Amino acid sequence: MPLTPSEKALVPFVSVDHMMQLVHHIGLADMLRGIADNIEEDFRRWPLFDKTPRVASHSEQGVIELMPTSDGDVYGFKYVNGHPSNTRDGLQTVTAFGLLADVATGYPVLLTEMTLLTALRTAATSALAARVLAPKNSKVMAMIGSGAQSEFQSLAMQAIAGIEEVRLYDIDPAATTKCAANLKGTGLRVVECTTAEEAILSAQIITTCTADKQYATILTDNMIGAGVHINAIGGDCPGKTELAPAILHRADIFVEFPEQTRIEGEIQQLDDDHPVTEFWEVLTGAATGRIDPAQITLFDSVGFAIEDFSALRYVRTHIEGTPFYHPLDLLADPDDPRDLYGMLARAKP
């Protein structure tokens, strides 16, 4: 049955509470796999999307960013921040919300929390990249940084890339203990480590997911042996990186959207013409991924708008027929579209 104009004006809103219920209703592993499938599907139709580096507003403490894209039928954007010092005050480093809209009318069709959804989509993207680029039969991942993203990264690698063991390291041992406790009973073998060197022992995949607003050196060149896959998540802002430049010179580098990654990713440390491969081209077969067991592959992740779009459309589809959203009175809906003033006047108490 077609929606009446007033029903059309109500926008489904997914709160944090509803998002948590949706994740438990679907199951985290299934939801990670579903979002990864959407990301793969959207990356395969990459040329169709509007693409722009995200619009960033930097401050001394962090960054606030807008991430828009459109596939011609549906438009989406995410508002997201990155404030590494927030955790000191009991606040999240990353929080987000996002919106989908119908291109034909411009009307929003979904408004949702995206702090949890960002953790899911970032983890799904990492695991999709690892499934394609990491050595075959990778079973062990080192997870450097045990903050908000770390459990999601670990569980996506288990659900999508077949990882069986995670080796955790964080400069703050309390974070490692928290992550290890959260991963108990998930089927992953969890090893708590006291140094990054210990964490990377026997790992085929190394994920760096730390938060510090500086050119940090989480991994030095001598730590990286032949054949590993590095999934670098935390370097996602100008002046905020995690890897020693020498590693970048030894690795084959895969990126989301080069125009954005050259500003924000590990490759901001390299010349502008340093060769990189766009990951979507590996998925379509237009470019090669791993071709040699000794090759070091690096997924220089910064997070791109299309991944959010994929996650948003997953949520839009999966809340249908569930109680996991509120219809939100977000749009003015006068009986006569040209009589906005009359609607206001009639509402006078």
Q: Dihedrals φ, ψ of 307, to 5°?
A: -65, -40
CB of 32 to ligand NAD, least distance (A): 14
Catalytic residue among 42, 89, 102, 236: 236
DSSP 237: B
| Closer to ligand NAD by Cβ: residue 140 or 308 | 308
CB of 187 to ligand NAD, least distance (A): 22
- What's the CA gap between 5 and 24, in Å, rounded? 33
CB of 2 to ligand NAD, least distance (A): 38
CB of 173 to ligand NAD, least distance (A): 9
Beta bridge partners of 100: 76, 110
Beta bridge partners of 144: 169, 208
CB of 249 to ligand NAD, least distance (A): 21
Q: Within the chain, where are the H helices?
A: 5-8, 16-26, 28-44, 115-133, 150-161, 173-183, 196-200, 245-250, 258-264, 279-284, 305-319, 340-346
| Closer to ligand NAD by Cβ: residue 10 or 216 | 216
The distance in angstroms from the start CA to the end CA of the chain is 34
3-state class of 144 per DSSP?
A: strand
3-state class of 130 per DSSP?
A: helix
**Interface residues toward ligand NAD, by CB under 6 A:** 82, 87, 93-94, 118, 122, 144-150, 170-172, 175, 209-212, 216, 218, 233-234, 236, 301-303
The residue length of the chain stands at 349
Please confirm, yes or no, whether 236 is among the known catalytic residues. yes
| Closer to ligand NAD by Cβ: residue 108 or 145 | 145
| Closer to ligand NAD by Cβ: residue 118 or 154 | 118
As separate numbers, helices (DSSP H) first and strands (DSSP E) second, the chain gives 12, 17
| Closer to ligand NAD by Cβ: residue 112 or 118 | 118
Tell me the catalytic residues: 236
